[in-house]
A and B are shown apart, each in its own frame.
Chain A
Amino acid sequence: MHIADMTAVSLAAAIREGKTTAVEAAEAMLARIAEKDKELNCYVTVDKEGALRKAAEVQEKIEKGELTGPLAGVPVAIKDNLCTEGLLTTCASRILHNFVPTYTAEAVRNLQKAGAVILGKTNMDEFAMGSTTETSAYGVTRNPHNTEHVPGGSSGGSAAAVAAGECFYALGSDTGGSIRQPASYCGVVGMKPTYGTVSRYGLIAYGSSLDQIGPLTKDVRDCATVLEVIASHDDKDSTSLVREDTDFTKALVEDVKGMRIGIPNDYLGEGLDAEVKDAILQAAKVLEAQGAVVERFDLSLVEYAIPAYYTIAAAEASSNLERFDGIKYGYRTEEYAGLHNMYKKSRSEGFGEEVKRRIMLGSFVLSSGYYDAYYLKALRVKALIKKAFDEAFAKYDMILGPVAPTTAPRLGESLADPIKMYLGDIYTIAINLAGLPGISVPCGQDSKGLPIGMQLIGDCFQEKKLIRAAYTYEQYEKK
C-alpha cells in the first residue's frame, strides 16, 4: 500500500511502530501535491518548509514518547478560513490576499497539540459562500473523480485534497452543508458536529449562529478520531459548549440493532436525482439488514429552510464582513478620494460577486423597515424548524437522507443561476439552522463514476449514534 493511501489513524500507528516517519509522510504528501495540485488546485497555500520542519519536530517527540496520540505525525490540510499564525489565511478572497494571522484557531491548536503537521491551506468558496468552490478568488478546485466536475463547496479544497490523497485528513467548516456536500461529491467522510462542540475562535465568520468546524476524512474511524481531538470547550468562544461526551471513538462499534431511523418523504421527492435516490435507499436497506428499524415519515417545513437560511446567513454575513475595510489588514484600493470612497472601492474590488450579492441582501433584510418582515420572520421560522426536528427525534434516533440532490455538477454549470445553486442545499441547510450534527458517508457512485453521499442527521449531542451507524454501514460495505 502506498503511504498516501493510508488512513490518518493507520498512518499514525505506522509512525508509532517505526514503520515510517512523520517526515516521510509529509514528504509523500508534498510529492503528491506537486504531482496533482497543478490540475486540482486544492490548496491556496502549501507550506512546504513549515510542514517539513514541523514533521521533524513531531517525529522527535513521538520517538521520545512525548506525543502518543492517535493523530501524532499525520499531515493535515486546513481550510483557508481558519486562522493559522504566521501562515497566509485568505478565505479565498482578494480582500485577504496578504493577511497573515498572529494567532491560530482553537480547533487547529488542538490538532497541533496532538502532533498534527500542517501541509497548507485549502481552497474554498470565497468566505465560504458557495457550493462549488468556484467563487474562490484563487481559481476553481477540480473534483479528483472527474476533473470536469466541481468538488462541491464551500470546503471543496479540503474534500478534494482528502479524496486525491493530497493530505490524510482535512478541516472544513459547515454553515449550510459546506463540509457534508463536498464530502459527498468527493467520496469522503465529512461531519458537522452539534453547534458549539468545536470552538469557533479563529474561524473567520460567515454566519456566526450556523458556522461549525468539522473533519473531512477517508473513513469513519478517522472522522471520529479527528472530531475527538478538535472538540473542546473554549473560554474564548461564548457559544462553545461544555460536553463530557466527546470520546467519539468509543462509538466505533458495528451495531445498529434496534436503532430507529427515519427517512423523510420530503427528502426523496421532486428534484432528487434517481441514481442518488436509489443509492440512498440501498444504503438504508443495508442498515435495516443490520438490525435497524427504518421508516419513512413526513418531516414538515423542508422547503422553508432555504429562504430562512439565506435570510439569516446573509444578515449575519453582512455584519461579519464589515470589518474588511482596508484599514487594519488586507486589501486597500490604490486610489481613493476620502474615507468612504476608500471603504467602497476597497470592498468592491476586494470582494467577489457572490459575496457582494449576499452582503447586499443581508444589509437589506436588516435595514430599517424590513427587519421584522424578513430577519425576525426567518428567526421565527427557524424556531418552527427546530421544533419539527424535535418532534422527529422523539420518534427516531436519526434521520437518513441524501446530502445533495445530484452528484457533482460540471464546472461552470451552477453559478449562472444563484437560486438554483441555493436549492442544492435543501437537505443540508436545516441541520445548521437547528444546530444539529450531520455526517456524510460515501454510498456508491452514479453511472458517470461520480460519488454519492448518504447523510445521517442526529439530535443535538447525538454524534455517537451517527458515528455508530456510519461505521456499521462502512464496515459492511468493505466486506
Chain B
Amino acid sequence: MANIISDETIEYVGILAKLELSEEEKEQAKKDMGRMLDYIDKLGELDTTGVEPMSHVFPVQNVFREDVVTNGDTREQLLSNAPQEKDGMFMVPRTF
C-alpha cells in the first residue's frame, strides 16, 4: 500500500467531517482510505497538462431569478422536523 494514513490524518478528517470513530473504526478507516487513495492515484498515470477541470458538463450559464418576494411565513412547517425548538427557533447546545 502506497498511501499510509496516519492516526493524525484520521483524527483530522474526523474533525472536518464531524465524525467520531471508535478505535476499531479508525483502524478500518485508515485501511479503507489508504486503499482508495492507492486506487485514485491511478489518475496520476494520465497526463492532464492543459486540461481544464470540468465541474459542469454542459455550458449552461447565467441562470438567475428576479428579485421578487415569492415566499411567505412557513415557520410552523420549518420547525415541524426540529429535534428541539423554543420560541420559534431551533434549540442547539450553547455556542459560546
**A and B in contact, CB less than 8 Å:** yes
List residues of A whose CB falls within 8 A of some B CB. Answer: 98-100, 102, 195-196, 209, 235, 238-239, 241, 301, 303-304, 306-308, 310-311, 318, 322, 325-332, 336, 338-345, 347-348, 351, 356-357, 359-365, 367, 374, 376-384, 386, 418-419, 433-435, 460
- What is the count of residue pairs linking A and B with beta-carbon distances less than 8 angstroms? 162
Bound complex: CA of A234 vs CA of B60, how far in Å? 14
**In the complex, chain A residues whose CB is within 8 Å of the CB of B32:** 357, 360-361, 418
Of B51, B58, B94, the residue contacting A241 (CB under 8 A) is B58
The answer on a CB contact under 8 Å between B57 and A195 is yes
The answer on a CB contact under 8 Å between A347 and B18 is yes
Bound complex: CA of A459 vs CA of B40, how far in Å? 27
Bound complex: CA of A460 vs CA of B52, how far in Å? 20
**Which chain B residues (44-79) contact chain A, with CB distance < 8 Å?**
44-46, 48, 51-58, 60, 63, 65, 74, 77-78
A352 to chain B, nearest CB (A): 12
Bound complex: CA of A339 vs CA of B93, how far in Å? 5
Number of residues of chain B lying within 8 A (CB) of chain A? 51
The answer on a CB contact under 8 Å between B58 and A209 is no
What secondary structure prevails in chain A residues at the interface with B? helix
The answer on a CB contact under 8 Å between B54 and A363 is no
Bound complex: CA of A258 vs CA of B47, how far in Å? 37
**In the complex, chain A residues whose CB is within 8 Å of the CB of B58:** 195-196, 241, 435, 460
**In the complex, chain A residues whose CB is within 8 Å of the CB of B7:** none
The answer on a CB contact under 8 Å between B53 and A380 is yes
Residue of B nearest to A349 (CB): B20
Bound complex: CA of A289 vs CA of B10, how far in Å? 57
Q: Does B4 contact A (CB under 8 A)?
A: no
List residues of B whose CB falls within 8 A of some A CB. Answer: 9-10, 12-14, 16-21, 25, 29, 32-33, 35-37, 39-46, 48, 51-58, 60, 63, 65, 74, 77-78, 80-84, 90, 92-95
The answer on a CB contact under 8 Å between A363 and B16 is yes
The answer on a CB contact under 8 Å between A363 and B17 is yes
A390 to chain B, nearest CB (A): 11
The answer on a CB contact under 8 Å between A318 and B17 is yes
**In the complex, chain A residues whose CB is within 8 Å of the CB of B81:** 98-100, 102, 328-330
B16 to chain A, nearest CB (A): 5
Bound complex: CA of A209 vs CA of B60, how far in Å? 13
B90 to chain A, nearest CB (A): 6
**In the complex, chain B residues whose CB is within 8 Å of the CB of A343:** 18
Of A241, A308, A340, A383, the residue contacting B43 (CB under 8 A) is A308
Bound complex: CA of A310 vs CA of B84, how far in Å? 36
Bound complex: CA of A2 vs CA of B19, how far in Å? 50
B23 to chain A, nearest CB (A): 13
Q: What are 7 sample pairs from A and B whose C-beta atoms fall under 8 A apart?
A: A100-B81, A344-B19, A359-B17, A364-B13, A380-B46, A381-B46, A418-B35
Bound complex: CA of A435 vs CA of B63, how far in Å? 19
Bound complex: CA of A415 vs CA of B26, how far in Å? 18
Bound complex: CA of A235 vs CA of B9, how far in Å? 41
**In the complex, chain B residues whose CB is within 8 Å of the CB of A331:** 83
Of A303, A327, A460, the residue contacting B90 (CB under 8 A) is A327
In this complex, the member of B32, B53, B54, B84 whose beta carbon has the largest number of chain A beta carbons within 10 angstroms is B54
Of A303, A347, A383, A386, the residue contacting B19 (CB under 8 A) is A347
**In the complex, chain A residues whose CB is within 8 Å of the CB of B17:** 318, 347, 359-360, 362-363
The answer on a CB contact under 8 Å between B94 and A311 is no
Residue of A nearest to B17 (CB): A363
**In the complex, chain B residues whose CB is within 8 Å of the CB of A102:** 74, 77-78, 80-81
**In the complex, chain A residues whose CB is within 8 Å of the CB of B37:** 364, 374
**In the complex, chain B residues whose CB is within 8 Å of the CB of A384:** 46, 48, 51
Residue of A nearest to B77 (CB): A102
**In the complex, chain B residues whose CB is within 8 Å of the CB of A378:** 40, 43
Bound complex: CA of A365 vs CA of B40, how far in Å? 10
**In the complex, chain A residues whose CB is within 8 Å of the CB of B80:** 100, 102
A468 to chain B, nearest CB (A): 23
The answer on a CB contact under 8 Å between B90 and A328 is yes
The answer on a CB contact under 8 Å between A196 and B19 is no
**In the complex, chain B residues whose CB is within 8 Å of the CB of A419:** 35-36, 39
In this complex, the member of B12, B48, B90 whose beta carbon has the largest number of chain A beta carbons within 10 angstroms is B48
